Structure 1
Amino acid sequence: MLFHIRMDVQLPPSLSAGEAAELKAVEKARSQELQQQGKWRHLWRIGGQYSNISIFDVESVDELHTLVSTLPLFPYMKIEVLPLCRHPSSIRDDDR
């Protein structure tokens, strides 16, 4: 199942620069691990915002929730999830 996800990050002002840098480093490693597994298929930054648009390829909504909730920045995110399905006018044979 493919999902389009928008993640908006809002770190608390009380977080020190060092704590924020460490959190971002761990987040980067986790996101790259999920990308290497093929679960996090695409990742784009939204210009001028601390936000991204991503495409996840998972077996279920439960798997998606489990994966997203493992992200170190999850407690500081506003997340919007949109399930995707094939459009009948698409010229592609598959979602890969």
Structure 2
Amino acid sequence: MEFLVDMVTTVPPGTSDDGVAEMRAREAARSAELTAQGSLLRLWRPPLAPGEWRTWGLFRADDADELEAVLASMPLRAWRRETVTPLTPHPNDPGQPPR
């Protein structure tokens, strides 16, 4: 199954610039691991308001429980809220093989 995840991150007040940089580095490393495992397929940056930190991600998992485990493994999870949308193939999707 594929899932679209809207991730909005809020850095806790008082977090140092070094703390933010360290967290971003850990998130980037984990994202690379998830990509290699086939769990993280794509990331997008939607239009942002000033100061907003938001990402859309396309994930693949067997079910919602597996997706939850993947999201829980990401360091930035501690600072963000997520909205998960399960996706199902559209019959006219040009990316699907003909039946």
Q: How does 1:16-31 map to 2 (within 5 A)?
A: 16-31=16-31
Displacement of 1:90: 2.0
1:78 aligns with: 81
- Structure 2 alignment gaps of length 5 or more: none
Q: Distance in 2 between matches of 1:42 and 1:29?
A: 15
Pair 1:89-2:92 in alignment: yes
Count, aligned residues:
94
**Aligned partner of residue 12 in structure 1, secondary structure:** coil
d(CA) in 1 for partners of 2:58 and 2:83?
A: 12
Counterpart Cα distance in 2 of 1:38 and 1:53: 17
Q: Percent identity?
A: 33
TM-score by length of 2: 0.87
TM-score (norm 1): 0.90
Shift of 1:92: 3.0
Aligned residues: CA RMSD: 1.2
Deviations 1:4-45 (A, max 9, x none): 111011011211111111111001100111011111001111
Q: Does 1:60 align with 2:63?
A: yes
**1:31-66 Cα deviation digits (max 9, x unpaired):** 111011111001111233311111101111111001
